[in-house]
A and B are shown apart, each in its own frame.
Chain A
Amino acid sequence: MPNASRKIVAVGAIVVLAAGILVFPSLAPNPYILSSGVLVLNYAVLATSWNFVGGFTGYISLGHGALAGLGGYATGLLATKAGMPSFAALALAGLLVAALAVPLGMAALRVRGASFVIVSIALVLILLLVFQSWASFTGGSRGLVVPRPFDLTRPEHHRVFYFLFAGLLGVALLVWWLLDRSRFGLGLKSIREDEDKAEALGTPTFTYKLIVFVVSAGFTALAGGLYALWFGDLDPVFQFSILTGSYVVLMALLGGVRNLFGPVVGALIVGSALEYFKVEYGDTPLHLVATGLLLALVVIFMPDGILPAIGDLFRRFDRTRRSSIREVTAAELRDQRKAAV
């Protein structure tokens, strides 16, 4: 495809996606569907926030659910215990979690790969433990009731928060897009491709990783806080569930982590599927099996995600771009060599 028409397709896709998201509330037949829409958008924000770390640096975190939970609890506690206005509490919660992400990131990012994932899982487990046990402060298993910011009927409440989530998603996407085009983003991507070489070439890898982790944590906390204001009731078991983190990773991977809209597409697919499962089959342990199976299939057969797969499909039918020289990345070449040995 020539460059100009590529651009038109890209802009067209963005317009269609944005229009679809904005029109949905007026098409939703009942408040329940609308509330599902809010949840799916929440997932889209979480997956996009996750993708700051996962997509740019290739570090996979299973603990972003915990950061969202922290954002939710921080918002709720600031609003109830400190009596702050809801949205001031939300903003402060985002900043607090981002500040907390600095020491967390310093511990987790000093080591490569495996240890990072371990720390991210440990984060979820430790926070669940703390928030359940520290009942006098957090409400424990009885839950924490967060006051509603607006005095609205239920459908109106859903509608307002739907647009708030859509706005947050827009901001997150915009920041991701800007980073993607920046020199900073280039440094991050070089970490993903080969951290040793990036460091040898003078990229301050640790600082870069830490910055992007903090940004990601901030957005995740905002999404979690917004969820708290919307839902109005927090329970440690759901806020610090390892499942949230795994859903987010599944969404981002399914959509494609190297794509701006990959996580959003993944969230639309997986989020809708989750809501559908809940309606059809209720809360059986089988949704765990379904999630696990889907995650395994994506990891084995489609680690690059749906969007690149579709792109490949289009390219296959496009004769103008066919050439005798095949494009392979250094990593693919290394894999092929390893497989050949």
Chain B
Amino acid sequence: MLVLQSIVLGLLLGGLYALLAAGLTLYFGIMRVVMIAHSAFLILAAYLAWWMHDRFGLDPLLSMVVTVPLFFAAGVALQRLLLTRLRPATLTMMSVLLTFAIALGVEGLLGYAFTGTQRRIQLGYGSASLELFGARIAVVKLIAFVLAAVALTSLYVLMKRTRFGWALRATIQHRDAARLLGIDTERVAGYGFGIGLATAAIGGTALSLDTTIYPSLHWHWIGPLMAIIVVGGLGSVPGAAAAAMVLGMAQSLLQIPMGTTWAQTVFYVALFATLAFRPQGFFGGRLAQRF
């Protein structure tokens, strides 16, 4: 029973990882940028959800009405105003530092505005749970998973079925060729960043439902997320999603014999093993070869 419970929990956790890793993969695909600040924005969104709940009594899910457009705009601004200023020759390295600096700034401002106290949203349905084949699943975890699944599916449809999605994928695949076809790659890249950051807003809301948050929490997320995108092969969205599911499940299952803290190491073990034996990642395409 415990195993079944862990599998279900791992699946639910993996969904959230997959959504966030998809955002990171988008940034990397578009500009070869490793966005360290992704999880800082995740925590920021969780804080905004908590704050709106605390202040105005809004349901955390409603906070997405504000945070998703806000984060989209922030993502576009980040790409257009900051990242494009960096020299192309050293873009990958310098963008890591720049987004790292942004992460520090977000963490510091969160600590300043809301203090380092641990926060948690108290919801009416917070303790409700369902029985499924003998496994108990908290309703909030299920909501978080559905949220992530819906967002990930919409992202997939957007990428595969819309003109904008085609333009975005063309930009990722070959920027110059895309430009020759009349795609305004600069604008598309900006919107792509906005979408990536919007996934952080959705993920943050999902996170706020059942997690205790504090400003430095984002370091606990960025490590696993980084590991996931490397294992999945940098730049491959399906790869990242698959790696997220597998590793999320592994973490959840390993918690039974090893405890929560040591189970986290599975991400780093997977990261080092991947780099040592298959540096391009397990699902990596052409992109991953050179990075």
Contact = CB atoms under 8 A, between A and B. Distances in A.
Interface of A: 58-60, 62, 106-108, 110-115, 117-119, 121-122, 125-126, 129-130, 132-133, 242-243, 246, 249, 253, 284-293, 295-296, 299-300, 303, 331-332, 334-335, 338
A172 B67 CA distance: 49
A315 B168 CA distance: 45
Interface stretch (B51-59, B95-103, B118-126): B95-103
B265 to A, nearest CB: 6
Contacts of A125: 219-220, 222-223, 268
With most chain A CB atoms within 10 A of its CB, the pick from B87, B89, B110 is B89
23 contacts: A58-B90, A60-B97, A107-B275, A110-B279, A112-B92, A117-B34, A118-B226, A119-B271, A132-B261, A246-B100, A249-B97, A253-B97, A285-B111, A286-B108, A289-B109, A289-B112, A291-B101, A292-B102, A292-B105, A299-B86, A303-B86, A335-B89, A338-B88
A331 B87 contact: yes
With most chain A CB atoms within 10 A of its CB, the pick from B92, B104, B265 is B104
A25 B262 CA distance: 45
A287 B108 contact: yes
A292 B101 contact: yes
A111 B108 contact: no
Interface string B218-230: 0110110011011
A284 B112 contact: yes
Contacts of A300: 82, 85-86, 98
B236 interface: no
B94 to A, nearest CB: 5
A117 B276 contact: no
Interface string B107-141: 11111100010000000000000000000000000
Interface of B: 28, 32, 34, 36, 82, 85-90, 92-94, 96-98, 100-105, 107-112, 116, 215, 219-220, 222-223, 226-227, 229-230, 234, 261-262, 264-265, 267-268, 271-272, 275-276, 279, 290-291
A291 B262 CA distance: 31
B93 A60 contact: yes
A298 to B, nearest CB: 8
Contacts of B105: 288-289, 292-293, 296
Contacts of A291: 101, 104, 108
B215 A285 contact: yes
With most chain B CB atoms within 10 A of its CB, the pick from A108, A113, A118 is A118
Given A113-B92, A113-B93, A285 B103 contact: no
Nearest to B93: A60
Contacts of B89: 331-332, 334-335
A121 B108 contact: no
A183 B224 CA distance: 40
A292 B230 CA distance: 25
Contact of A285 (B108, B234, B268): B108
A113 B109 CA distance: 29
A112 B290 contact: yes
A293 B97 CA distance: 11
Q: Which 6 A-B pairs have the closest CB atoms?
A: A285-B111, A288-B108, A292-B104, A289-B108, A292-B105, A295-B101
A311 to B, nearest CB: 19
Contacts of A249: 97
Contact of B230 (A115, A293, A303): A115
A132 B116 CA distance: 20
A117 B223 CA distance: 11
Nearest to B36: A121
